[in-house]
Chain A
Amino acid sequence: MADDPSMEHLRKEVEDWQNNDLNPALSKFGERANIFETKSQIPVKPLYTPLDTTGSDYLEEIGFPGRYPFTRGTYAEGYRTRTWFVRGLFGYGTAEETNQRMKFLIAQGATGLNIVFDAPTAWEGIDADNPLAMGEVGKNGVCLNTLQDMEDMFDGLAIDTLNVTWASCVGASYLPITAMYIAMAQKRGLDISSLNGAAINDVFSGYALHNCALPYTHPKDALKDWCDGVEHALLHMPNWFPCTIASYAMGEAGGPPDLQLAFTIAAAIDYTRALMARGIEPELIAPKYALFLSCGNNFLEEVAKYRALRRMWAKTFRETFGVRAKKGLQCRIHTQTSGLTLRAEQPLNNIVRAALQSLSAVFGGTNSLYTDPYDEVYALPTEESQRLALRTQQIIVEETGVADTIDPLGGSYYIESLTDRLEDNAWKIVARIDEMGGMLEAIQRRYFRSSIDDSYNRYLKAVEKGEKVIVGYNKYRHGEDLPIETFEVSEEIEEKQKWRLKEVKEKRDNKAVSRALDRIAEVSANGDNVMDDCIEAAKLYASHEEIIKAICRHRRSFTEEYRIMSSRF
């Protein structure tokens, strides 16, 4: 390619244009910024031409949607048959409040539901009556303590046709939550193979960012719990995607796109190896992954991120694991727009930010999308702001035409070049993680945490100096913002939930519960899969915390170690 005579001619023409047209104009007017670069610090040139894409062979590196290496899309049909899943995301209060809001979202056109659990449930694995849960019950998600909560939450909803995602449940907390869902299905007489859903249960992301995920477990134990849940689903639930890798959290913590890509790939490699150690074939594992991305505000870099990710994913599973089936090489991507970019000042500007981020995820070819409501910077969203977020996606689908042709930005000299550069950067980081000895090692050396700190701190400083602009914050300010109407979770929710839990604990057969819990503890200590025993305990209305404590009964607590690790910055 390099000695292609037409390219040589083009090179001369580009030089001529630069010297005689561009440079004089730039020096006459002066550039409006000292540095033009993406969030991954890739320098951005004033213009891209075919010279910037000559390195890549169309069929090998770009190809067709639905064909290796999937750069242009996961599926051949793109959005021509149906669009991405327009997701509603919710969870607050007790199961009853969440049930009502879920019905509202379905009525507004949501085709999938992401359920958020409160921090005690998702991150700590504790019930509402644990003193540590004080002030947090039902605040930022729904509180789920027993099968009773699960039954009330899905009351009147046909779970065999619903697509649900546990938006947050890390390590061991995935097990009781999913066990309760399965127990509910079985009580309704459903075959669990009919359950559709996914779980964002990425233990690596929890540890990488917060140095903790269920703080009383070691990362190795968390990985064991993760394997138990995934293995069970692989064997019994064909429509369940139990392993979502969440680079979302990496993005939301301020990590740049190249780091998000590398995290995803390195995590996929280690998760796959952990399952292979249980004798599960990569061919079986690969099609079960789902990816969860955050879409930030560097519009074109975000588009390139999706394209690079699909290509890296396909290469990894074909080259590293020898996967042959197409399903195993296609990655399924769920996106949430970036809450980190939302601002408290001039909050209505957030509607525009979320719309642009949604649009770039669509240009990137996301398979599922949740648009952040503009008021999330203040509180949980109101019904009105949630409706507006759904409408944002509906306007993109119905009115703009961008979903009518597949990968409409493919072939742009800049997009293709940026896709290549991002991929190169990310492979280098993957290699570095590999040199360290994999994810667990990289996490223990605080590799992700310090990479993010460096990058986000650089960004904050640039904002403080005014080199980077946040509209309405360090430029284009106007007087006081008018207060917006915000949603509030009543402080009484905590008491209500404690009362609900107390009632369940009084009614159930406590002897049978404690036998079931002993059994879990024993199976866990033997290193065997605890999922079946968790389902049995869930049916007896054993609580979330009780099940997790049983799983961890013979493990050493790491709470204090993690606190100390998290204090370093």
Chain B
Amino acid sequence: MRKDKIRVLLTKIGIDSHDLGIRNLALSLREGGMEVIYTGLRMPIESIPKVAIEEDVDVIGVSFLQGAHLALSPLLVKELKEAGVGDIPVIVGGIIPQKDIPKLKEKGIREVFLPGARFEEIATYIKSLVELNR
């Protein structure tokens, strides 16, 4: 079965409450025709697989502005795998040092967007990912 719209789950995990970027990304993706589910702040990592399954999402986006990306991203990837949805690609964005990108990719993060990335660029990437996967 093919879904009409690309479905994106955006989330903030841990205690970082900088959400200006992700909320505006959510708006932008939605205006661009995607279905966006945003969990809000402080989403418990262990609850994410359930939401991802129920909402049947194509991709998960997480934003980090406080430096917890290396500690928390692997936990999310692990939870998804354990729930049997390890194939849903996870992308990460925010204030992330360039040199952490390979470390994140090694831990199973599909792509990383740094400060200055355009919403358009992220949308295009998501579309290409989904076409590849569907």
Contacts and interface: CB of A to CB of B under 8 A. Distances in A.
A489 B15 contact: no
B42 A569 contact: no
Contacts of A135: 14, 67-72
Interface stretch (B20-28, B77-85, B104-112, B125-133): B20-28
| Interface of chain B: mostly helix, strand, loop or mixed | loop
Given A134-B68, A344-B115, A120 B15 contact: yes
A473 B118 CA distance: 10
Contact of A377 (B69, B98, B115): B115
B66 interface: yes
Interface in B9-24: 14-17, 19-20, 23-24
Given A134-B71, A344-B114, A457-B27, A139 B66 contact: yes
Contacts of A253: 20
Contact of B97 (A488, A565, A568): A488
Interface stretch (A351-359, A401-409, A556-564): A556-564
A132 interface: yes
Given A119-B16, A377-B115, A562-B41, A136 B66 contact: yes
B33 interface: no
A30 interface: no
Interface residues of A, number: 44
B124 interface: no
Most buried by A among B39, B43, B116: B116
A119 B24 contact: no
B62 interface: no
Contact of A134 (B27, B41, B43, B72): B72
Interface string A137-172: 001100000000000000000000000000000000
A457 B30 CA distance: 13
Contacts of A254: 20
A559 to B, nearest CB: 7
A563 B48 CA distance: 13
B74 to A, nearest CB: 10
A569 B15 contact: no
A140 B67 contact: yes
Interface of B: 14-17, 19-20, 23-24, 26-28, 38-43, 66-72, 95, 97-98, 114-116, 118-120
Interface of A: 119-120, 123-124, 132-136, 139-140, 210-212, 215, 253-254, 340, 343-345, 377-379, 453, 456-457, 460, 464, 473, 483, 486, 488-489, 491, 559, 562-569
